[in-house]
Amino acid sequence: MPPASGNLLAFDIGTRHTGVAIAFADSDMAVAKDTMHHASPSELLEHIRVLMEHHHVHHCVLGLPRLPGGEEGEQASFVRSIGAKLAQNGREVSYIDERYTTTRNSQYDGNAAAACTILNTYLDQKRNLT
C-alpha cells in the first residue's frame, strides 16, 4: 500500500519523451509539470532520480501502456523495466493503466497532460479505498 502522505510524481514514459505530473502532500490534485526529453533509459532514470530528490518523493506512479485488448506489449515491458530499476533503488512504484490518457490537443503538452491524468486516476483510486 502506498504511503498515506507525501508528494507524488507520475510519469507517462516514452522511449524519448516522458510526461511528468506532481501532487503535493497538502493537495489531492495533480498538476502537469513538463515533458522530459531523454536519449536512453539511463538518462531517463537520472532525470527521474533528480526530480524525486528535488521534490522529496519516495513513491511514484507510472502509466502502464496496455494494448486495446488489455494485454501488455513491448512498451509496457519497457515501463516495467524502468519501474524495477526504481524499486531496486528503494523507491515505491505503482502502475496505472494509461490507455487513452494522451491529449491530442496541440495547445497542451500531451505527455505532461497524460501524466496528470495518470496521477489523478491513482489519487481517485486511493480515495475510493479509504
Residue-level pLDDT at 28: 82
- Residue 70 resides in a domain: yes
Q: Could you give the C-alpha distances from 86 to 39, 60, 100, in angstroms and in order?
A: 18, 9, 25
pLDDT at 34: 92
Mean pLDDT of the chain: 88
Question: In this structure, is residue 107 part of a structural domain?
Answer: no
Contact 14, 111 (CB under 8 A): yes
Average pLDDT over residues 55-67: 94
Model confidence at 37, in pLDDT bands (50, 70, 90)?
Answer: very high
- The pLDDT tens digits for 92-125 are 999 999 886 655 544 557 899 999 999 999 999 8
The DSSP letter of residue 72 is: B
In a domain, 62, yes or no: yes
Rounded Cα distance, 84 and 106, in Å: 32
Nearest to 81 by CA among 100, 64, 59: 64
The arithmetic mean of pLDDT across residues 16-24, rounded, is 95
Beta-carbon contacts of residue 119 (< 8 Å; ≥ 6 apart): 8, 9, 10, 21, 22, 23, 30, 61
Task: Give the pLDDT of residue 3.
Answer: 43
Q: Give the pLDDT confidence score for residue 102 in this predicted structure.
A: 59
Domains identified in the chain, total number: 1
Task: Give the domain range for residue 50.
Answer: 34-91
Residue 66 maps to a domain: yes
Question: Does 96 fall in a domain?
Answer: no
Query: Does residue 65 lie within any of the structural domains?
Result: yes
Share of the chain above pLDDT 90, in %: 71
Q: Which residue has the higher pLDDT, 5 or 61?
A: 61
In a domain, 75, yes or no: yes
